[in-house]
A and B are shown apart, each in its own frame.
Chain A
């Protein structure tokens, strides 16, 4: 069956799940609503029909279902669990932190936990304080976990396959604003994107911009605009947050001498903050400007349309920050403002999900 070369991020996830389940009986998939009419934003279409009891809806028991995933994993399966909002998964911290992350280490390497946990993150459209949290830094803080944040359809499929193959627990963060993104995706079931390899998306010599997930898209717009104005930014998409590909990142900053790290999470203890700290301590003599990060404020996300109007940052703020680092002067980039409503990823998005 031939499919178009370009498919959406959600279709890429779906294709990856189909291929992973076809490749091994060990792979099972479950999550609240996995076989409901919406199929987790389309990412689990036809899985139940094709794989039967290996795909199942679940009770509203996030903590136990995470532990059940750990148990199934140490019992020889490769579970893939999904939550439509990261925030609900916060009920499962005991099983994530005390069980999944620790098992291999605290039992002397006797048994690992090949568990993939898909969590959907987002922003905007009134999701508010408890439906929009980007807690990648939390997960990355726990030794033993891997944290993955794809930004393109191809990466979504390739990183998901690599995560399911991986013998460790992986927190796989999908940004809701990316699910409709189109892109070329290799159809081959052998396609993988290795974990812990970031991608240099744009080459440049003036400043290194480090992004992940949805912010990579915003950064790409900024980098292309900056290039038109003569600033050559190097854009790095982290892809895997933990364990992080430090060599690629540090090599880039050594070359450019400038770092702008982006993070969709709150500032304190952020991934971007960790990157700035490492660069400042390891590459101090190479730096031509103080390393900088752009993150969300240390404030919960408000709900109202008006309150979120200036709450997020995107391409204009990224371009302005990079410009100031390189040129030493203020400049705004109003042409990079997104058209239409500020709180939706595109016209297709009509809410409420």
Chain B
């Protein structure tokens, strides 16, 4: 059973993630957001369940589909939207776009575009935490496709050898772009059991059942903070939209007829609303009020970002090196003796 304040945080995170993603999807065709966007609609559950469990000083990294993780960790919505819009005030200086998000003020250390890329980086964060004697956790968000990258095995191995405080959160949404699991991983293999065989504690759950995910991870994270070493958690979930972009793509036929509709019945947002009404005494009015509050904030965030100025063009050449902050370092502008 979730603590009272945690249930509200979870419901708020669910509304926030869904609302922001729908807001982006609705505005995306206008062409103002000119970068690839990988939507989290349908996959809000795990991030929302973790929202009250991740401390600000826990350090998270993620992948190309990171909006939910970023918002679940408490990242600034405005800074993220400005980044996606390519405006001044973007969290990554308008250089990263949707696939490169960061908000260090809440411990979101970065998401990157290459599948598997941040897995060792999260393990390295865990190494730094361990060296400093901290009880914070490093949290690595990854998908079922990243399991197929060699770096995943290297990283899990090292986390196991060194007993690092790293929590691997694998959201298995069954597809990598248009490729289903079938040609990618042997039939009948359980990802979390395979990882368990590598020597780290592994658990699994239904990522669209937010209440159960919260309950499972509440126990796992409490145990991890007492220095129990790394944990791998696999959650089943499903993306509703196309791999990249705001549209439905059921017509392409790479997913079985009716599969998406079936998963929509298990929508994490609606399911958690039902859970709160039936088990936590929430009224429909209370849900509606919370939802409206979150959506009003989101509307203000979009209004803000659309009014943000464009970044100055010289920003393209800044900060290639750390000590060069504020100046250009291209060879053509380098001081010449000629």
Contacts and interface: CB of A to CB of B under 8 A. Distances in A.
A107 interface: yes
Chain B CB within 10 A, most for which of A66, A108, A114? A108
Contact of A144 (B110, B131, B320, B336): B320
B102 A107 contact: yes
Interface stretch (B114-122, B245-253, B260-268): B114-122
A74 B132 contact: no
Interface in B124-138: 124-129, 131-132, 138
A248 B336 CA distance: 9
B114 A72 contact: no
A94 B146 CA distance: 14
Contacts of A146: 321
A99 to B, nearest CB: 6
B321 A247 contact: no
Most buried by B among A71, A109, A144: A71
A70 B92 CA distance: 18
Main secondary structure of the interface of A (DSSP, over half): helix
A111 B157 contact: no
A166 B322 CA distance: 9
B334 interface: yes
Contacts of A167: 321-323
Given A70-B120, A108-B95, A64 B110 contact: no
Given A64-B154, A105-B320, A108-B96, A95 B336 contact: no
Interface residue range, chain A:
35 or more
Contacts of B318: 109
A62 to B, nearest CB: 8
A53 interface: yes
Given A108-B96, A109-B318, A167-B323, A71 B127 contact: yes
A56 B120 CA distance: 17
A226 interface: no
A172 B335 CA distance: 25
Interface majority SS (helix, strand, loop, mixed), chain B? mixed
A251 B158 contact: no
A59 interface: yes
A59 B157 CA distance: 8
Nearest to A67: B120
Contact of A251 (B94, B131, B322, B337): B337
Nearest to B104: A110
Interface in B59-115: 59, 61, 90-96, 100, 102, 104, 109-110, 112-114
A229 B191 CA distance: 72
A205 interface: no
Interface size class of B (residues with CB under 8 A): 35 or more
B320 A104 contact: yes
Contacts of B322: 104, 109, 112, 114, 166-168
A246 interface: yes
A105 to B, nearest CB: 5
A98 B338 CA distance: 34
Contacts of A95: 117, 120-121, 151
B131 A246 contact: no
A67 B337 contact: no
A168 B123 CA distance: 20
B112 A99 contact: yes
A104 B120 contact: no
B299 interface: no
Nearest to A115: B124
A74 B321 contact: no
Given A146-B321, A250-B338, A71 B94 contact: no
A38 B117 CA distance: 33
Interface string B159-192: 0011000000000000000000000000000000
A59 B158 CA distance: 7
A286 to B, nearest CB: 8
Contacts of B93: 107-110
B325 interface: yes
Interface string B315-329: 000111111010001
A282 B158 CA distance: 50
Nearest to B335: A247
Interface string A266-285: 00000000000010001100
Contact of B124 (A75, A107, A278): A75
Interface string A211-227: 00000000000000000
20 contacts: A54-B131, A61-B151, A71-B123, A72-B124, A72-B128, A75-B125, A77-B131, A79-B124, A99-B121, A103-B110, A104-B321, A105-B320, A107-B102, A109-B319, A110-B92, A110-B104, A167-B323, A168-B322, A243-B329, A247-B336
* 4 closest cross-chain pairs (CB), A and B: A71-B124, A108-B93, A67-B120, A75-B128
Interface of A: 28, 53-54, 56, 58-59, 61, 63-77, 79, 94-95, 98-99, 103-112, 114, 143-144, 146, 166-168, 243, 246-251, 254, 278, 282-283
